[in-house]
Amino acid sequence: MSRSTETAPRTVWIDPDDPTAVLAIEQRLLPFEYEEVSIRTADEMAAAIADMVVRGAGCIGVSAGYGMYLAALEARDLSGDDADDYLRRAGAVLEASRPTAVNLTWAVQRQLRELVGIDHGDERLAKARQVADAIADEDVAMCAAIGQHGLEVIREIHERTGRTVNIMTHCNAGWLAFVSHGTATAPMYAAFDAGIPIHVWVSETRPRNQGARLTAWELGQHGVPHTLIADNAAGHLMQHGQVDLIIVGSDRTTVNGDVANKIGTYMKAIAADDNGVPFYAALPSSTFDPTLRDGVANIPIEERDATEVTNATAWFEGHQIEPRVAAPGTEAVNFGFDVTPARLVTGIISERGISEASEESILALYPEFAASLPSPE
């Protein structure tokens, strides 16, 4: 299968041949098989998000935007309170599908602000489509801008050291996790395309292996040199001077710069701090949650089925298999995310530039967040 960031479709889009359906890349089969799935109802979209057919903070936000388009389609013949209630219920189901990434809520609430109160079904549907497409288009533009800001960090390291820049990432904050470009990967693609020599350490990201399966595949398709490592190898590489910087994505970032990201990110940040390795989080503004200050206390952490830990997912003779890796009868727990406190974050790369992980610096770039701040703690 050969697809690349140049040729791939978006991760989710309205079927051009049948606008009553939304198409999405079936991410659970990648990189071994490429398949597109057709999603026809808002409930089906919520299930696709919960089951990780579509995944990644930006991508599930955009998917929720299109889920609300499907809800507007279902509510086409309704008016008044009936229509508004229908949309609110569909939005609540979408929002509940995964708890940590705030992009979901952000997209649903944006749609509700635009749609509630529109009495005419066709007008409501046209607006839902326009908003969903705008969310997707803005995601593309934000990720492209993140790439340009992050490029300067990589360029500075290359000009200072005169050698290949070794970047570490975790999970998949690539184009598959958004609509295109990605966040953590956008500066890597931009640097590579600018001729700056880079090499990426990709941690496999147990239990779902988004690094091994998705990030390694994405980087390979783009021709970016990379090496897969076991998650536990990160600290060792940093101790031995093999990592110039870390760039990860985020699923929710508080107004003071606490960064929720895939489980295991926090341990990398601690090792980075211990070894003087700069640690950046790259995220679009839709990933900020300005209503929260204390991420460790307040960001909801998804807990997924324990079988993702007791079993691995592998590709064998053309099929996905889930062989058991834990001793029979072993209890397991499966937290999807962790929170890296702001004190361990060197900088936050977003579409408006690079801020320090502090409320003052984030508000300087996003003064509009001031209206949503929590009361002082």
Q: Which residues form the interface with ligand MRU (CB under 6 A)?
A: 55-58, 171-173, 177, 183, 210, 248-251, 261-262, 336
Burial of 333 (0-12, 13-18, 19+ CB in 10 A): exposed
Instruction: Return the number of the residue (10 or 55) whose C-beta is nearest ligand MRU.
Output: 55
Structure tokens at 273: 């701090």
Residue 344: CB minimum distance to ligand MRU, A:
16
What are the backbone angles phi and psi of residue 61, rounded to the nearest 5°? -65, -45
Give min distance, CB of 262 to ligand MRU, in A. Answer: 3
Q: Residue 83 or 173: which CB sits closer to ligand MRU?
A: 173
**Shortest distance, CB of residue 103 to ligand MRU, whole angstroms?**
8
- Whichever of 73 and 246 has its CB closer to ligand MRU, that residue is 246
* Min separation Cβ 277 and ligand MRU, Å: 18
According to DSSP, the β-strands at 319-321 and 36-39 are unpaired
Least separation in angstroms between residue 273's CB and ligand MRU is 19
With respect to ligand MRU, which residue has the nearer C-beta, 18 or 137?
A: 137
- Of 32, 93, 30, 103, the residue nearest 61 (C-alpha): 103
Question: Residue 176 has which token pair?
Answer: 């598959």
Bond preceding residue 207 cis, omega within 30 of 0? yes
Q: Angle of helix 103-115 relative to helix 80-95, nearest 10 degrees?
A: 170
Residue with tokens 């497409």: 133
Smallest gap from Cβ 370 to ligand MRU, in A, equals: 25
User: How far, in Å, CA of 261 to CA of 305, rounded?
Assistant: 18
| Active-site residue (options: 139, 231, 251, 258) | 251
| C-beta atoms surrounding 213 within 10 Å | 22
Look up 251 and say whether it is catalytic: yes
Compare residues 56 and 187 and give the one whose CB is closer to ligand MRU.
56
* Nearest Cα to Cα of residue 32 among 308, 313, 221, 315: 315
Q: Of all residues in this chain, which one has the CB nearest to ligand MRU in the complex? A: 249
Judged by CB, which is closer to ligand MRU: 111, or 215? 215
Provide the minimum distance between the beta carbon of 364 and ligand MRU in the complex, in angstroms, as a whole number.
Answer: 23
Q: Which is nearer to ligand MRU, 90 or 171 (CB)?
A: 171
Residues 247 and 212 sit within 8 Å (Cβ to Cβ): no
Point out the residues that are catalytic.
Answer: 251
